[in-house]
Structure 1
Amino acid sequence: MKQYPWLTAVVIGMTVLRLVTASQVELVPDEAYYWLWAQHPDFGYYDHPPMVAWWIVTTTFLSDSELFVRLSFVASFLGLSWLMYDAARVLFDEAIARRTVLWLNACLLLSIGSVVATPDPPSVLMWAGGLWALARLLASNKGWWWLAFGLFAGLGVEAKYTNLFLGLGVAAWMMMDKPARRWLLTPWPYLGGLVALAAMAPNLMWNLNHDWATVEKQFGRIGAQDFTLKFLIEFVLSQPLLLNPLIFVFTALGVLAAFQNSESRLKLLVALPLPLFAYLLVHVFHDRIQGNWTAPVFPGLVLLGAVVAEGIEGKGWNRARWLAAPLGIGLSTAVLLFLTLTPKLPGMGGLSEGWNQLNSAITYNQAPGDPQWVASTDYNSHGELSYHSGQPNVSDSYILYAMAERERYPWQGVPPQGLALIVVAADRPLVVGKCFADVRDAGTASRTQKPGKKSSYRLYTGTLKDPACDLAD
């Protein structure tokens, strides 16, 4: 990329913009929740594998500011760009490699999503690392690249269980591509599998010791709801938009090309995402597919689209090829600038707004009886109040204890004694008297100037009846 300063300028410019956005936007509840994980490092957590917390730990030893919580996630886009550039270069050529990097910045889900501290950027980076190792394998024909693939595949499972489908994608590649099956007669894929197993072992052992809590939560959702068609259209329409509509067109052509010829490189790019999409097409008939679930396969799809774009001719195709980057980068830039310059967002976009205000309202609450501790009743407010109260780093922070979904917080221990100030989201129907005696109304609090269902909280005082009680049960 050194020979193409315009591409370097795009990568650096978008990185700087992401860093600015990351420093200006307050943490959304999920990010605060993962920050709380990082205060209690472990090999697993109730909701996800541990890599998101590990990444936060690596930067927040310097500061707990929003920028440092998100720093490794923003930086991961640079690693993603290099992996995909090199994979495209060794599989195809420099022109396709350059277009791949450019289009990664034009892919809306990846470009904007890397600003947020969630399991997705680690998951995407590890999947891309696995694809890069397979690209090197195809280019060099050296079996030890299976070991690198196994490492990335195993570490990907430490990021998100979605990455289990990467191994299944390799199986699909071997089914589609006869030359790839010859590796089965060598020890390398099996040694790579052992490396993957070793890399994912920490979380497997954690689950073994915690009744497979994370595995059950993540994979117990499939088929949990009744059959429905209402989420299918949403899924089908959202994916091209999140990828970039013009890139999607070229990617779709690449899928057709892979099934029409015997090109191993194209078959690899098409096969890797197939098992994940197959799973999601089963899931979508029972529940909503969140847009970010497909994020790990997007870099490979971008590369597939770039391959087709460089080889197709025609006036219309030339125009689409030229417009794809300005469209995606322009929209990504607009969204990032909007987030940076608009501190108060309406509706669900305002999830990060005003938690300091709520924290102050609780800190200075003059409830009768002088409560000795604060009881949260949902994971959004528990994560945000933990972050904004400075726990566990500030000596004058109040004692906060989660009294709902307590399996999320195994480090909590026994609930505090004495009178509690109980914080209940206005839109959350909970019977506080289930766990607390002598319940009294202590007023309301809001994290926004105009209280609403999503931003208002009811406050109560009460004394705990049973230390094992959980309001969510």
Structure 2
Amino acid sequence: MRHPSPSSWAVISICIVAIVHLALGFSFGFSVDEAHYALYAQHLAWSYFDHPPLVGWIQWPLIALTTSEGVIRLIPEALWLISVSLVYRITLELHDVIQGRSSGYLTNVLPSGPSCGLMATLAVIAAPLPHVLSIGLLPDTLLTPLSLGLMLMALRWLRKERFSLGDWIITGVLLGLAGLSKYTAVFTVVALLMVFLSAKRKPWINQPGFWLAGIIACVLISPVFYWNWVNDWISFKYQIAHGAGGTWALRRVAAFIGIQIACFGPLMVVGVYFFLKQGWRNHRLTLLALLSFFFVPFTIFAALSGGGSLPHWTTPAWFCLAPFIGIGLAKAWSQQRRRLISSLFIVQIALCLIGFGFVLAGGPPSANLKANPMADLYGWQSAGQKAAELAHANNATGIAVQNWTLGSRAAWYAQPLPVYVLDQRQDQFDLWFGQLPLGANVILLNWSGLSYVPPTGKGAGFESCRLLDSLETRRFGQLLSTFDFSLCTNWRGADLVR
């Protein structure tokens, strides 16, 4: 391979990044979300309080065999590989549509499809946030390849004279799996419908395959509706409240957009600019419909961000935008914009490498205990084991924490002991372990990164709490956090607990 082709460079780049992901995956413990969704697999159900069940179901085979974080993280790594491969494939399909090989469009000459695919691949690789989802399994890790799969089917529908029955079945399965991965998959469904509506001469609503796809999707997502029906629709109620957030403020929208650019990289923004700059007058409606795979979810999340949102929610949308970005960057590269593109790529890759270094090192050396975001990744296995030992030694009912984010790691690493969250907010822990019984004695786990005063007082909380032991977490000699373990006796209720 003296002169590797663009497709070869894409494969080489993907393999290098995959090796880095694998090395990181075996280097530290579960994050709060990873532990939470791993517990899904240990408590199999038709659905769960905060998300549909696929994120738990897909982990069950591995978790039934091992508790090794690195092995379990092979799942998100495989999903990342599928996602990046789909980005490359979709870029080739989109390139053919724009070049008019199957649709008769006339447009400006583009660089080769593999060149555009390479640029799309590099844009994804250089984006910082997707690396987090490639190591830790979140519902968005699942929704990303499923959204890309639906986008690929939309492109095929545009290019084919008629969708086959097999195509409709694949579409229905992808829709159902997307619904099982995350509730925001409904935005991808809207984008798919917009593609169907963009081509007025193609009949689809009167095709048996279309209705078969809808039936398949409904059957696949029926466990979610059944579980919510049995549990008073608590998941839907929670998601509506969670999505609405707090009081809406325009400054939060501006902050959301700035955070998005930082998380996914200015290279993507530059690629979109160069793509849209071409005009695409001859097939604007088709491209706008395909762009809805990005703009529909991104616009909704941006609007919701006025009340609060999380940056990784838009990951499937950015991956669906990557093929357009790749074409825009390849066109700009051919127009002598190489210095700008290569500079942005190098800067973003450098930032990713610095981030990887901080993860392995346990955070910046100057960070204090509460300001170090990497401290959250270390020490929980030892803390869980210590809490379990103290619970057995003191005949405690279980382990207690005062925030659900502390409970996920405690429940994973101290299993099978029950973990009770001492607040008045309903969550998944209430469904798994129930309420802490009155009069119970527990080991209260407190972490320096999110510390609380033990809940004792007149008439509510515990009668008393006595510190039993403490545990320090260090990484390369740097103190990251401390864990305190207290024996709290005679639980009298949560009326005054906050």
Corresponding residue for residue 43 of structure 2: 40
Corresponding residue for residue 79 of structure 1: 82
Corresponding residue for residue 399 of structure 2: 374
In 2, Cα distance between equivalents of 1:255 and 1:147:
33
Please state whether the residue corresponding to 2:135 is helix, strand or coil: coil
Q: CA RMSD in A?
A: 3.3
Please state whether the residue corresponding to 1:46 is helix, strand or coil: coil
In 1, Cα distance between equivalents of 2:354 and 2:446:
36
The answer on 1:138 being equivalent to 2:158 is yes
Corresponding residue for residue 218 of structure 1: 239
The answer on 1:235 being equivalent to 2:256 is yes
1:369 deviation in Å?
Answer: 6.5
Preserved CA contact (<8 Å) 2:7 2:114: no
1:249 deviation in Å?
Answer: 1.4
Corresponding residue for residue 57 of structure 1: 60
Deviations 1:183-211 (A, max 9, x none): 34544444332222222222122112111
Normalized against structure 1, the TM-score is what? 0.85
Corresponding residue for residue 290 of structure 1: 310
Please state whether the residue corresponding to 2:26 is helix, strand or coil: helix
Deviations 1:423-458 (A, max 9, x none): 355634674456555323335635546989x85547
Moved more, 11-20 or 87-96: 87-96
Query: How is 1:193-208 mapped onto 2 (pairs within 5 angstroms)?
Result: 193-208=214-229
Deviations 1:137-175 (A, max 9, x none): 223333233432232122112111121100111233355
The answer on 1:459 being equivalent to 2:486 is yes
In 2, Cα distance between equivalents of 1:447 and 1:75:
35
The answer on 1:97 being equivalent to 2:109 is no
- Residues 261, 431 of structure 1: alpha-carbon distance in 2 compared, 3 angstrom cutoff: farther
Query: How is 1:281-360 mapped onto 2 (pairs within 5 angstroms)?
Result: 281-285=302-306, 287-312=307-332, 317-342=337-362, 346=367, 347-360=372-385
**Runs of 5+ consecutive residues of structure 1 not aligned to the other structure:** 393-397
In 2, Cα distance between equivalents of 1:350 and 1:447:
11
- Residues 337, 74 of structure 1: alpha-carbon distance in 2 compared, 3 angstrom cutoff: farther
Aligned length: 462
Moved more, 246-255 or 436-445: 436-445
- Residues 91, 224 of structure 1: alpha-carbon distance in 2 compared, 3 angstrom cutoff: closer
1:114 deviation in Å?
Answer: 0.9
1:415 deviation in Å?
Answer: 4.8
In 2, Cα distance between equivalents of 1:344 and 1:237:
23
1:5 alignment partner AA: S
Corresponding residue for residue 154 of structure 1: 176
Please state whether the residue corresponding to 1:165 is helix, strand or coil: helix
- Residues 435, 19 of structure 1: alpha-carbon distance in 2 compared, 3 angstrom cutoff: farther
Corresponding residue for residue 23 of structure 1: 26
Please state whether the residue corresponding to 1:221 is helix, strand or coil: helix
Moved more, 271-280 or 422-431: 422-431
- Residues 138, 117 of structure 1: alpha-carbon distance in 2 compared, 3 angstrom cutoff: same
Preserved CA contact (<8 Å) 2:445 2:485: yes
Query: How is 1:245-264 mapped onto 2 (pairs within 5 angstroms)?
Result: 245-255=266-276, 260-263=281-284
Preserved CA contact (<8 Å) 2:463 2:492: no
1:104 alignment partner AA: V
Preserved CA contact (<8 Å) 1:108 1:243: yes
**Runs of 5+ consecutive residues of structure 2 not aligned to the other structure:** 96-112
Corresponding residue for residue 427 of structure 1: 451
- Residues 237, 183 of structure 1: alpha-carbon distance in 2 compared, 3 angstrom cutoff: same
Please state whether the residue corresponding to 1:411 is helix, strand or coil: helix
1:388 to 402, 413, 419: 413
Normalized against structure 2, the TM-score is what? 0.81
Query: How is 1:170-189 mapped onto 2 (pairs within 5 angstroms)?
Result: 170-174=192-196, 177-179=198-200, 182-189=203-210
